[in-house]
Structure 1
Amino acid sequence: MFTNLSAKKNPHFDIRGLNHLALVCRDMKKTVDFYQGILGMPLIKTCDLNAGMGQHFFFDAGNGASLAFFWFPDAPEVEKGITVPKTHMGDMGNVTTAVGSMNHVAFDVDAEMLPAYMEKLTKAGIKVSKVLHHDDSPEGHSFTRKHPTLWVSSIYFQDPDGIQLEFAGWARPMRDTDVLHAPATVNDRPAYLERQKTAVA
C-alpha cells in the first residue's frame, strides 16, 4: 500500500488529505447499519440540524478522513443515471451520472485483501463485483489478468441507497508518464458521443 502516490508537492495549499465527503441518505438508521454494522466504520459524530432540517452523521473512514451523511426529510428520491449510475459499476455497464453528482466513493485498502473482502461482503448479502484490475492496456481493465501497466485493483458494491462504493488498492506510485491526456471540454462532447455510437455499433 502506498501512502504517497506522488512526490509532487501542492504549490498553492497545504492540503493534507480528505477531511470528509458528505452524501445524502434516505434512511439514516439503514445507513448506520450498513456503514458501521457491515463495513465496520465507527460512527464518530451525530448532529440534529436546527429547525427540523434533518441530521448529519460522520463515520471514521481511516487515516483522519471521514464519510458523512445528511438525512433531509424533504430530499428528492434517488434517480438512476442522474444521482447514481444506472448500472452496478462491476457490471461495466452505463456508469454515467449528472454534472455535479457524486459518481462513487472509493475506500483505500490493501489490494491483496480484495478477494477476502469480496467474500465478507458476499456473506453479508451484498452484491459485489469480481476483482477488477485497472491498467493502461487498450481495454483499460481486466477481471482475469494483471497487465504490466496495472495501477489499481478494485471491487465494487452499493450501499442501501444505491450509492456506488469501491474498495481500491493502489498497485504502484503514480509517475509523470501517467498524466498523458488533455482535459476534455464541453466542445469535445460531440466527438466523444460519436465514438460511443461507433463502439456500440
Structure 2
Amino acid sequence: MGTDEITVVDEVVRSRSSAVTAFSADNVMKRTRDLPELSLNHVSFLCKSVKKSVQFYQQVLGFGLIKRPSSFDFEGAWLFNHGVGIHLLEVEKIGKNEKKGRINPKDNHISFQCTDMDLIVHKLDQMGIEYVKGVVREGGIDVDQIFFHDPDGYMIEICNCHILPLLPLSSSSSSSCPLITRNISNPKIALTTTSSSSSSSSSFYGSMHCSGEVEALMMENLALDMINISI
C-alpha cells in the first residue's frame, strides 16, 4: 500500500473514531446532564368527599394513607403505593370533572400497570364498579386495558402495558437511553422474559438496545475494518 493510500485510510479511521466517540456511553451521559433527573412524585385530584375517595383508592388500587403536612388548612389526604403518590383535595364543587355517564377511554386518565388483569376485573365486579375493556394490538402483542371512574369521575386505566416495548423514534430522541423495559414487580431488575402470549418477541425483549448504542458499535466495527485494511 502506497503512502497516499495509507494517508487516506488514516483520515478515514480518525473520522470513524470521532464518530464512535460521539456515540460513546460517556458522551451520551453528558447530554443528559443538561436536564435534572426527573421522576413522577404524585398526581393530585379534587374530590367532593375525601372519605369516599380514600376508600376507593385503598380498596380498588391498594393505596395506603400517609401523613400530610400539618400546616395545611384544608381538607385532604395523601396516599402512596406503586411508587407514586395520590393527593386528594376536598372541594364542594368539582365543575367539569363531574362524573360522566359514559366511560371514554380517550378521556384524560391516570394509568397503572398490572400483572393480573383478571384479578382487577374480579375486584371491580365484586364492588359493582362499571368498567370498559379494551385491547391494543401491536407487532403480535396484545395489550389489555380496563377503564373505570373514581368516585369523582376521574378516569383510571389498568393495563399490562409493560409487555409493549418502548422504541425511540430516532437516535436524537434516545440520546439519554431512558427506554429500558423493567420487571414491574422489581423495578431494579431488567426484564429478560416476556408474556407467554408473545413467545416470538422474547428474543427481541432480551436484546433491545438504544439506537445510539447500536450506532456506536457499527461505527467502531467499521473503524476496526479500516484499520485491518491498512495493515
Task: Tell me which interval the TM-score lies in, with the shorter structure as reference length.
Answer: 0.5 to 0.7
User: 2-side partners of 1:69 and 1:49: how far apart?
Assistant: 16
Is residue 2:141 matched to residue 1:126? no
Structure (1/2) with the larger helix percentage: 2
Select the residue among 104, 110, 113 that pairs with 1:105. 110
Match of 1:43 in 2: 65
Change in 2 beyond 3 A, CA 1:36/1:149: closer
**Which structure has the greater CA radius of gyration?**
2
Aligned 1:1-201 pairs, distance under 5 A: 11=32, 12-15=35-38, 17-47=39-69, 50=72, 52=73, 54-63=74-83, 65-72=84-91, 75-79=92-96, 87-90=102-105, 95=106, 103-110=108-115, 113-130=116-133, 132-136=134-138, 148=140, 150=142, 152-170=143-161, 171-177=163-169
- Could you tell me the TM-score, scaled by structure 2's length? 0.51
Shift of 1:21: 0.8
Shift of 1:85: 6.3
Change in 2 beyond 3 A, CA 1:37/1:48: farther
Q: Secondary structure at the match of 2:58?
A: helix
Number of equivalent positions: 140
Shift of 1:154: 1.4
User: 1-side partners of 2:103 and 2:71: how far apart?
Assistant: 32
Structure 1: state its 5+ residue gaps.
1-7, 97-102, 137-146, 180-201
Shift of 1:129: 1.7
- Could you tell me the TM-score, scaled by structure 1's length? 0.58
Structure 2: state its 5+ residue gaps.
1-27, 172-231
Root-mean-square deviation (CA, aligned residues, Å) is 3.0
Paired letter, 1:166: E
Residues 106-157 of structure 1 show CA distances to partners (whole Å, capped at 9, x for unaligned) of 11212xx112211211111111222x22235xxxxxxxxxx6254x431111
Flag the structure with more relative contact order, 1 or 2, with Cα contacts below 8 A and sequence separation at least 6. 2
Paired letter, 2:76: H
Q: Secondary structure at the match of 2:132?
A: coil
